Homo-oligomer: A and B are copies of this chain.
Amino acid sequence: MKVEVITVGGEILCGLIADSNFAYLSRELSAIGAEVCWHATVRDNVADLVEASRTALARADLVIVTGGLGSTPDDITRKAMARVLSKELVLNDRVLDHLKKRMEQVGREFPPVMESQALIPRGAAIFFNPVGSAPAFAATSGNVRVWVLPGVPAELEAIAHAHLVPEVEGGLGDTRTASALLRTIGLPETVIAQKIGDLTASGCSISYLPKQCGVDVRLSSKGSDRGDARANIEACSREVKARLGDAVYCVGSATLEQVVHGIILAKGIKVAVAESCTGGMLSFMLMSEPGSSAYFERGVVAYSDESKRTILDVPSATLETFGAVSRQAAEAMAHGVRVGSRVGLGVSTTGIAGPDGERPGKPVGLVYIGLATPERTHSREVKLLGARHQVIYRACCLALDMIRKELGLTGPAPPGSVAP
């Protein structure tokens, strides 16, 4: 099934906002095996949307239009789609009731201008909006299915999840493609390609997707039927995992944070963090998943030497002899926060995030990550490229990766993924 998505939005063409709706739809539809082949973004302009829709109707099996369903004059999608579908707009009483009830609930008067949201092309199926006002609608034109969804991301996602995605999945029948995502950290793209590139001979295609904190490897396979394609992907995934070893942190779409969260929960250990150059981001990544209060005891962002001494018990001599950016300081910070908070695992970062702060022998991007358990305290030196935010983010990812390797690589699989 070939899909085209059309985004209506002048504010996206102006670069004022990013098109998270398209990212969401392409991810969800690809995951179930639909092929998103084209994406177009047009201005809030009837003629432009009509033209883009006609182009899409001529080449796609499913056309999804997002945005432009509000009540202000720049909301032109209903008008344009009525023209594309050759149907008149009809005021729908059920929708009007729904809109009025929503306003009642929040104690506001019904603004007459909102009535336009109840205008629907005659004969279209209506999907009520559980988290907003404008409903979605869908119709068929020739052999092409046309869906029109509101542009507010939470509204679009709620309706797409409940109605659009299941409809597409139902229509796909016995699809013949299968795919898998393997997420890695610590190996460059070129090294990964050398290690696994020959697997394309087995009928799997491989894409390499470098991310800020590692490389995602996407495998896809077409078979004579769905089972065939799936079996091929599974064999290929196993081989990739065997060749890349513990660089693979996840098979599936879970993030490194989610994987590490699962491992820490499974181990039943408590964690404390002492950060310098990462400024709070490592703590935030460790507590970003619901339920992290079960293990996250405390975090300390110790920028000043004074705070390293007083809260983390880093010896003055360590700071004077080796400097705050040193292997010794990182280890003392990890040890200090672990002992001070009486937990099983202490993690620390100290480094130079840049763009300033370079010292002799200590370039921008130099970061030490420390790890302390009751058994041992050790550290890792890394040199990271990129702007300040990138250095910080990469340092945090590598710290999470050290935790992963320290605690063992397997935890319970987070939702939607299989831990390696």
Assembled-state Cα–Cα distance A16/B182 (Å): 12
Check if A299 is an interface residue, CB within 8 A of chain B.
yes
Q: Which residue of B lies closest to A154 (CB)?
A: B386
Docked-complex contact B307 and A297, CB < 8 angstroms? yes
How many protomers of this protein does the assembly include? 2
Given A299-B300, A301-B287, decide whether A36 and B14 contact each other with a Cβ distance below 8 A.
yes
A 270-308 binary contact with B (CB < 8 Å = 1; else 0): 000101001111111111101111001111111110110
Stretch from A17-25, A115-123, A163-171, A230-238 that touches the partner: A17-25
Assembled-state Cα–Cα distance A37/B27 (Å): 25
Docked-complex contact A23 and B30, CB < 8 angstroms? no
Q: Which residue of B lies closest to A342 (CB)?
A: B306
Task: Determine which of B26, B279, B285, B297 lies in contact with A13 in the assembled complex, contact meaning CB atoms within 8 Å.
Answer: B26
Docked-complex contact B39 and A13, CB < 8 angstroms? yes
Q: Which residues of B have CB within 8 Å of A278? A: 284
Q: Report which residue of A278, A286, A301, A357 has the largest number of chain B beta carbons within 10 angstroms of its beta carbon.
A: A301
Q: Report which residue of A12, A284, A302, A311 has the largest number of chain B beta carbons within 10 angstroms of its beta carbon.
A: A284
Interface hits, A4-59 → B, CB 8 Å: 10-19, 23-31, 36-43, 48, 52, 55
Assembled-state Cα–Cα distance A341/B303 (Å): 11
Check if A218 is an interface residue, CB within 8 A of chain B.
yes
CB distance from A277 to the nearest CB of B (A): 9
Check if A158 is an interface residue, CB within 8 A of chain B.
no
Check if A266 is an interface residue, CB within 8 A of chain B.
no
Q: Which residue of B lies closest to A29 (CB)?
A: B15
Q: Which residues of B have CB within 8 Å of A28? A: 15
What bracket does the count of chain A residues touching chain B fall in?
35 or more
Assembled-state Cα–Cα distance A220/B96 (Å): 33
Q: Which residues of B have CB within 8 Å of A42? A: 37-38
Docked-complex contact A283 and B291, CB < 8 angstroms? no
Given A284-B284, A301-B283, decide whether A16 and B273 contact each other with a Cβ distance below 8 A.
no
Check if A355 is an interface residue, CB within 8 A of chain B.
yes
Check if A216 is an interface residue, CB within 8 A of chain B.
yes
CB distance from A213 to the nearest CB of B (A): 14
Docked-complex contact A288 and B389, CB < 8 angstroms? yes
Check if A388 is an interface residue, CB within 8 A of chain B.
yes
CB distance from A80 to the nearest CB of B (A): 15
Check if A356 is an interface residue, CB within 8 A of chain B.
yes
Check if A207 is an interface residue, CB within 8 A of chain B.
yes
Check if A1 is an interface residue, CB within 8 A of chain B.
no
Interface hits, A322-346 → B, CB 8 Å: 341
Check if A172 is an interface residue, CB within 8 A of chain B.
no
Check if A244 is an interface residue, CB within 8 A of chain B.
no
Docked-complex contact B279 and A16, CB < 8 angstroms? no
Assembled-state Cα–Cα distance A292/B392 (Å): 14
Assembled-state Cα–Cα distance A43/B38 (Å): 7
Q: Which residue of B lies closest to A37 (CB)?
A: B43
CB distance from A382 to the nearest CB of B (A): 18
Given A28-B15, A307-B297, decide whether A48 and B43 contact each other with a Cβ distance below 8 A.
no
Assembled-state Cα–Cα distance A300/B272 (Å): 11
Task: Determine which of B74, B280, B290, B298 lies in contact with A303 in the assembled complex, contact meaning CB atoms within 8 Å.
Answer: B298
Docked-complex contact A303 and B297, CB < 8 angstroms? yes
A-B contact pairs, 26 of them (CB 8 A): A11-B209, A13-B30, A13-B38, A13-B39, A15-B24, A15-B28, A16-B181, A37-B42, A37-B48, A38-B43, A74-B207, A275-B280, A280-B287, A280-B299, A280-B301, A281-B281, A283-B301, A290-B355, A296-B301, A297-B303, A298-B304, A299-B299, A299-B300, A300-B311, A306-B341, A307-B341
A sample of 8 more A-B contacts (CB under 8 A), given A281-B284, A298-B311, is: A12-B39, A16-B181, A38-B42, A55-B55, A273-B280, A273-B301, A280-B284, A298-B302
